[in-house]
Amino acid sequence: MKTNRREFIKMSGIAGLGLAGTSGVKTGNSGQELTKSRLTPFNMCGYAAPKIDTVRIGFIGLGNRGPAAVDRMTHIGGTAIKALCDIRPAKANEVKKSLEGSKHNPDIYTGNANEWKKLCDRPDIDLVYIATPWSLHTPMAVYAMKQGKHVCVEVPAAKTIDECWQLVETSEQTRKHCIILENCCYDFFEQLTLNMSRQGLFGEIVHCEGAYIHTLLEGNFSKDKYYDMWRLKENFRNGNLYPTHGLGPVAQVMDINRGDKMEYLVSMSGKDFQMEAMAKELAAKDDFYKPFANKTYRGNMNTTSIKTYKGKTIMLQHDVTSPNIYSRIHKVSGTRGSALKYPLEGRIAFGHEDWVDTEEYKKLEEKYSTPVVKKIGEMAKQVGGHGGMDFLMDWRTIDCLRNGLPVDMDVYDAALWSSIAPLSEKSVAGKSGSVDIPDFTSGAWKTNKPVDISLQSGANTPVI
């Protein structure tokens, strides 16, 4: 929301007349808005948009993730790829060429920084799929929704608290879905532990952990990997800059936004031990890197702790510099059992003595894998995308849109999970002080139903 509209709401006395969803703008100790003085919002959690027989899609961003997303959609029935957009003509043309021989013949938008708006303006597009640099996610998603489009937006969906509110309010006003592309929610073990937690096998969940520990040092400094070095520039910030891969799956396990809410966090970053040193080393050999040689970078490791309204806790970590084995941790701890995935294969325990053996694990997997995994899992492994979870995510998105079902990850999830980055920055800057977390549902978390993993449909969304 823009400041002038906030001031208008205050000055107009809407809140005083009792028409608003809250009694005013309440801010936390970091100054961010926790609740907003606005008319009672339309609740997008559980909202089922009208069915779309053939989902017509436009893709924006064809650098790293976009081309693979385009390819995955060609394997899903009931889709039509109508448009491709990237500022670089070669990228757009390369993806269009990959579609030769298929039923898809998309138009190209390229060569101009605002071409993406023309794609969003088209009346023959239902879904805009955004895989661009982070700073463009919210502006593009908001514009697309205002043009009557559902949106899928890569992670993080927003960079600031204000942007989080923009996503929420635009989705509510337009009644268009804003789906965060958190593929890790569809990884096979994460789906398994979600269903097991729903069936009560872990008892009451009391603590969860997630992370994004992934060595990206060389990629961040590559001249070719990220357009205009955008991802390296993001590392000038200091906090948990990429929280959603670890957070999304455990937030679903804990029914966050759907029975519980996050209350506050504390965040601590260590020192930068590598990024500035690499920038200076490269700058000594190549003038291209001189603008990056005297910058302050985020610390190697960030640890963020979150407390929920019901007294449960979440620990998140972020380190994309140190030479660690890849890990999202994915730890689920309950009163009757626990699960842990990384850095080894997924494991489950119902006591403190040891993990269940291979035979017992297979029995649990057969019984508690979610319906979407049972239906599409093998096909997903063949199509690929981080082992198949990307395809599961895309297939399920199209399934929901084609059959008029509520989406698994709604705009409140997009806003909340993304908000951890700027909130962690505030905490780090304040010597790890506690920072309150906004309630983007405006109180609806108390009655919202958990994510439905029963796979209500599926028959009408074939794979090709």
Tens digit of each residue's pLDDT (9 = 90 or more) over 13-68: 323 222 233 333 455 554 556 666 556 799 999 999 999 999 999 999 999 999 99
In the chain, the N- to C-terminal Cα span, in Å, equals 42
Are 144 and 164 in contact, with CB atoms under 8 Å apart?
Answer: no
DSSP state of 50: P
Provide CB contacts within 8 A for 281, sequence distance 6+: none
Rounded to an integer, the average pLDDT of 129-142 is: 98
pLDDT tens string 262-281: 999 999 999 999 999 999 99
Rounded to an integer, the average pLDDT of 187-206 is: 98
pLDDT at 7 over 60: no
In the block, tokens 């620990």 appear at 315
Computed over every residue of the chain, the mean pLDDT equals 92
Q: What is the DSSP string of 345-414?
A: S-EEESSSS----HHHHHHHHHHHS-HHHHHHHHHHHHH-SGGGHHHHHHHHHHHHHHHT---SS-HHHH
Are 54 and 78 in contact, with CB atoms under 8 Å apart?
Answer: yes
CATH class of the domain comprising 184-370+412-446: alpha beta
Indicate whether this model's pTM tops 0.75: yes
Alpha-carbon dihedral 414, 270, 309, 209, rounded to 10 degrees? 70
Q: What is the pLDDT of residue 367?
A: 98
pLDDT at 168 over 80: yes
Q: What is the DSSP string of 101-128?
A: TSS---EEEESSTTHHHHHHH-TT-SEE
Q: What is the pLDDT of residue 352?
A: 94
> What is the distance between the alpha carbons of residues 303 and 318, in angstroms, rounded to a whole number?
7
Q: Which letter, b or e, does each residue of 13-49 get, where b requires 16 or more Cβ atoms within 10 Å of its Cβ? A: eebeeeebebeebeebebebbbbbbbeebebbbbbeb
pLDDT at 390 over 80: yes
> What is the distance between the alpha carbons of residues 38 and 8, in angstroms, rounded to a whole number?
11
Distance of CA 203 to the CA centre of its chain: 27
Closest of 164, 115, 165, 169 to residue 146, by C-alpha: 169
In the block, tokens 């204000």 appear at 162
Rounded to an integer, the average pLDDT of 425-453 is: 97
Alpha-carbon dihedral 429, 434, 435, 441, rounded to 10 degrees? 150
Provide CB contacts within 8 A for 312, sequence distance 6+: 205, 206, 207, 208, 254, 260
> What is the distance between the alpha carbons of residues 372 and 403, in angstroms, rounded to a whole number?
15
Q: Domain coordinates of the chain in residue numbers?
A: 184-370+412-446
> What is the distance between the alpha carbons of residues 325 and 419, in angstroms, rounded to a whole number?
26
DSSP state of 416: H
pLDDT at 460 over 70: no
pLDDT at 218 over 70: yes
